[in-house]
Amino acid sequence: MTSPEPSSKPNRIIGSIRSQLVFGFGLILVLALVIALIGYQSLQSLQKSVQTTLDESNRIRELSLEIKTEFLQARQAESNFLASWRSLGFETAQDKYVSTNELHLEQARSKLNEIDSLVQNSGDPELQLILEDTASLVPLLDTYESAFQAVVTDIEERSRPDGQENTLNTKLNELEAIVSPLPNPEFHQLVLKIRANEQSYLNTGQQQYYDNLRLLILEFTDLVQNSSQVDLPEEIVAIPDPASDPPEETVQIPVLELLDLIGIYQDHLIELVALEGNIEINTAVFREVTVDINQVTSDILRGGDAGFTRARDQLQTVSDQSRLALIVVSALALGLGSLAAFVLARRIIGPLNQLSDTAQRLGQGDLTQSVQITGGTELVTLANSFNTMTAQLRDLVGSLEQRVSERTEDLEYRAVQLQAAAQVAQDALTIQDVRTLLTNVANLITERFNYYHTGIFLLDDKKEYAILQAASSEGGQQMLKKGHQLRVGREGIVGTTAVARRPHIALDVGKDAIFFDNPDLPQTRSEIALPLLINEDVIGILDIQSTESQAFAQQDVEILLTLANQVALAIQNARLREEAQVNIAQLEAFAAEQTRSVWREHLEKKSHGFLYTPLEIKPLASEGLSESIGKDDELSDSPIILRGRKIGNISLKRSTRKWTQKEQALASEVADQVALAVENSRLVNETREQAYRDQLITQFSSRLRETLDMDTVVKTALEEMKKTFGLDEAEVRLNISDENRIED
């Protein structure tokens, strides 16, 4: 009876999935180890043969790319220096860009030396050809650096305080100081032209401006040599000082320095042009060398790529040899592995299919499924774990649905907040009155956010009190009637916020030290005050109160702060609109009054009116058409209105038919155009009269300044007054008596 038991336990061990898996995968593992040993030997051979060459070639490629990058960065520093030395100043540009250029060139040389070291130690004979490229690259880099340093030196000589540019400017300033007082303005004009062409040449370097400078210098020299003694005295000339009244001869001008100064200026200009030529030559040199440097670095990169390709081909050859050996061993391993897999599949696939079907139904949403499997211990354990996971998934889905619902409610609440912010912005565009705007905003915030009270305070002109301007609650309305106000910096959260210029939150007003206990708002449990800022200046406070503690979360504060900023902008815009309307009304009233006054004076001098008939156009009598209106005549009057003031009238009379509305409207439009036309005509006449008076005064003054002799001045004044005013006689009497003496 006991003999079957010893044999049954080994059968269970052999028949278990674990033992079968151990046997099958053990066999596969042994075969895999054999394959791994063969592969390892092949890989060792491959590593010894190509790894060194592969690493060297790859490093050469990397270094060649780094050399190209370093040279490009050096070129960028060179370009920045040439473009900015004038605006930044030479020393600043040199410190910032020239040193950077030298650093990148030095790094490029260091990487070039590393390439030489790699190639010399390489076992690949074809890589030795790269040494020719590296040898040619070194002098190219030296040539580039020398040419660029020469350009830097020339620019330093040109831009230093005692350099050519500053010397030119100094000499030209001295020349301008000498010629400015000369009677002949051509000297000063030529100096100004020389300065303009000098600046154009310095900024552009174009030859045409240099040619213009040479011609202008010759023209200036000829003008000096050919000028008369009056325009150009030989040594020192005393001329009237235009700053004194009456003019006094105080300015001393050494004229003989003109030719020396213009000669010195021309010499320095020639030196500057020569220096500019050297800069252009050296610039062309290092830019030509740049092309050769790029070509050589590209050749080095191609050499590294070629070495990398050769190493890769060697790798492929060794790989093909290893692959043949692996195919034979793999075929044997595949056959044994397939046999083991077939046996295991019959024991495992059935239960796994059942698990797969159940998982598919779970994926379709049926969370009531469970798995019942008999057989090996491992599959039973897997089925139990699957059932446990299904139960947990049911709980998770239920919890997730609840979280989605809560999140949806939160998003809806945020949407309401954003809609409220948008509504505030819309009200700011449509509502002109500040008080109406503030009332709408307070009610909107209370309604959309479900708060107990919303109040908006504005600071007075002295910023001493925050005065309540709008409120949404019944208690707030009582506060408005009382003229509720809080002292800034002393009373309540509102007063403190006005000074601090940042939001103040009291999540529990009972624990807040500065909370103002308002009897009109007894249900307040939490409060937030947000400053209304315009350009960092507080113009008011947005005060919001809730009947719940901890009512203001961080997201609420962000939304409310956005609302506060929009309210501040809306208040500012409304105030600006009101001020603009007041200013426009004042300007319109002033323009209308000015127009009425001017036209009253204009019409008092002469009555302007004309009567048109088919026969003639004649001046209109004061009674107009009234005396000629017959019994059957139809009269249409259209007032001539200018800037809100009536300045005339257009009267139309006919006896054939009545005037239609379209005709009267057309007559009104004509009257508007007539108003503009006569106003323009009046302004033109006034301008002409003023110009005529100014011309007479100018002529009169010019005649008087022609001489300094007192008698001649008096006679000239008499003649001009008689000629101007058409006088037969005129008298000028000079009288100095004790009565007219001015006491000290």
Q: According to the per-residue pLDDT averaged within each range, which of 27-31, 640-644, 676-680 is highest?
A: 676-680
Q: Residue 456's pLDDT is what?
A: 92
Secondary structure in 3-state letters for 113-132:
HHHHHHHHHCCCHHHHHHHH
Residue for token digits 């108003």? Answer: 675
Sheet holding 465-471, edge to edge: 485-487, 465-471, 453-459, 537-546, 526-534, 504-506
Task: State yes or no: pLDDT of 375 exceeds 50.
Answer: yes
pLDDT in tens, 486-531: 888 877 888 888 888 888 888 777 666 566 667 888 888 888 888 9
Greater confidence (68 vs 348) lies with 68
Contacts of range 668-671, beta carbons closer than 8 Å, 24 or more positions apart: 668/638, 670/638, 671/638, 671/639, 671/640, 671/641
Residues 297/67, Cβ–Cβ less than 8 Å: yes
3-state SS, residue 408: helix
Residues 453/446, Cβ–Cβ less than 8 Å: yes
- The region of weakest confidence among 134-148, 303-317, 369-383 is 369-383
Rounded to whole angstroms, the Cα distance separating 337 from 663 reads 110
**Separation of CA 735 from chain center:** 72
Residue 154, classified by CB atoms within 10 Å of its CB into exposed (0-12), middle (13-18) or buried (19+), is buried
Q: Residue 164's pLDDT is what?
A: 65
Task: State yes or no: pLDDT of 170 exceeds 70.
Answer: yes
3-state SS, residue 660: coil
3-state SS, residue 245: coil
Q: Give mean pLDDT, residues 384-398.
A: 74
Q: Give mean pLDDT, residues 539-551.
A: 85
- The two tokens of residue 63 are 């270094």
Domains of the chain: 158-278 (no CATH), 413-581 (3.30.450.40)
Confidence of residue 240 (pLDDT cuts 50, 70, 90): very low
Containing H/E element for 515?
none
Q: Residue 604's pLDDT is what?
A: 61
Rounded to whole angstroms, the Cα distance separating 81 from 104 reads 14
Q: Give mean pLDDT, residues 163-177.
A: 75
- The region of weakest confidence among 39-53, 69-83, 429-443, 511-525 is 39-53
DSSP for residue 619: E
Task: State yes or no: pLDDT of 425 exceeds 60.
Answer: yes
Q: According to the per-residue pLDDT averaged within each range, which of 332-341, 400-409, 534-543 is highest?
A: 534-543
Query: Is the dihedral angle over the CA atoms 433, 436, 439, 445 positive or is it negative?
Result: negative
Q: According to the per-residue pLDDT averaged within each range, which of 217-231, 336-350, 581-595 is highest?
A: 581-595
Residue 59's Cβ-side half-sphere holds a number of Cα atoms within 13 Å equal to 18
Task: Find the length of the chain.
Answer: 744
Residues 480/471, Cβ–Cβ less than 8 Å: yes
Q: Give mean pLDDT, residues 74-93.
A: 77
- The two tokens of residue 508 are 């529990």
- In sequence order, what are the residues at sequence separation of 6 or more whose Cβ sits closer than 8 angstroms to the Cβ of residue 712? none
Query: Is the dihedral angle over the CA atoms 617, 618, 622, 627 positive or is it negative?
Result: negative
Q: Residue 353's pLDDT is what?
A: 72
Rounded to whole angstroms, the Cα distance separating 71 from 144 reads 10
DSSP for residue 621: P
What percent of the chain lies above the pLDDT cut of 90?
Answer: 1
Amino acid at 715: K
Containing H/E element for 405?
helix 377-430
Containing H/E element for 303?
helix 257-363
Rounded to whole angstroms, the Cα distance separating 170 from 190 reads 16
Greater confidence (77 vs 743) lies with 77
The vertex-273 CA angle with 267 and 276, nearest 5°, equals 145
Q: Give mean pLDDT, residues 669-692.
A: 82
Q: Residue 19's pLDDT is what?
A: 66
Rounded to whole angstroms, the Cα distance separating 188 from 178 reads 9
Residue 213's Cβ-side half-sphere holds a number of Cα atoms within 13 Å equal to 27
3-state SS, residue 487: strand
Residues 720/730, Cβ–Cβ less than 8 Å: no
Confidence of residue 17 (pLDDT cuts 50, 70, 90): low
- The two tokens of residue 328 are 């034979």
pLDDT in tens, 597-612: 766 666 666 656 766 6
Average pLDDT of the chain? 73
What percent of the chain lies above the pLDDT cut of 70?
Answer: 66
- What are the residues facing 636 on neighbouring strands? 652
Residue 543's Cβ-side half-sphere holds a number of Cα atoms within 13 Å equal to 30
Q: Residue 318's pLDDT is what?
A: 65
Rounded to whole angstroms, the Cα distance separating 244 from 708 reads 15
Q: Give mean pLDDT, residues 100-127.
A: 76
Q: Do the bridges between strand 526-534 and strand 537-546 make them parallel or antiparallel, or are there none, so unpaired?
A: antiparallel
Residue 290's Cβ-side half-sphere holds a number of Cα atoms within 13 Å equal to 18
Rounded to whole angstroms, the Cα distance separating 691 from 697 reads 10
Q: Give mean pLDDT, residues 248-259.
A: 54
Task: State yes or no: pLDDT of 215 exceeds 70.
Answer: yes
Confidence of residue 231 (pLDDT cuts 50, 70, 90): low
Q: Residue 367's pLDDT is what?
A: 64
pLDDT in tens, 610-665: 666 666 666 665 555 555 555 556 777 788 787 777 777 777 777 777 888 888 88
Q: According to the per-residue pLDDT averaged within each range, which of 437-446, 584-593, 677-686 is highest?
A: 437-446
Return the CA Rg of the chain: 51
Q: Give mean pLDDT, residues 534-558.
A: 84
Phi-psi region of 426 (alpha: psi -120 to 50; beta: other; left: phi over 0): alpha
Residues 512/524, Cβ–Cβ less than 8 Å: no
Q: Residue 253's pLDDT is what?
A: 47
Rounded to whole angstroms, the Cα distance separating 698 from 695 reads 5
Q: Residue 742's pLDDT is what?
A: 46
Residue for token digits 């060398």? Answer: 289
Task: State yes or no: pLDDT of 2 exceeds 50.
Answer: no
Confidence of residue 480 (pLDDT cuts 50, 70, 90): confident
CA dihedral 363, 369, 375, 380 (to 10 degrees): 80
Q: Give mean pLDDT, residues 528-549.
A: 87
Q: According to the per-residue pLDDT averaged within each range, which of 5-14, 171-180, 340-349 is highest?
A: 171-180
Rounded to whole angstroms, the Cα distance separating 252 from 233 reads 11
**Predicted structure pTM score:** 0.36
How many Cβ atoms sit within 10 Å of the Cβ of residue 556?
19
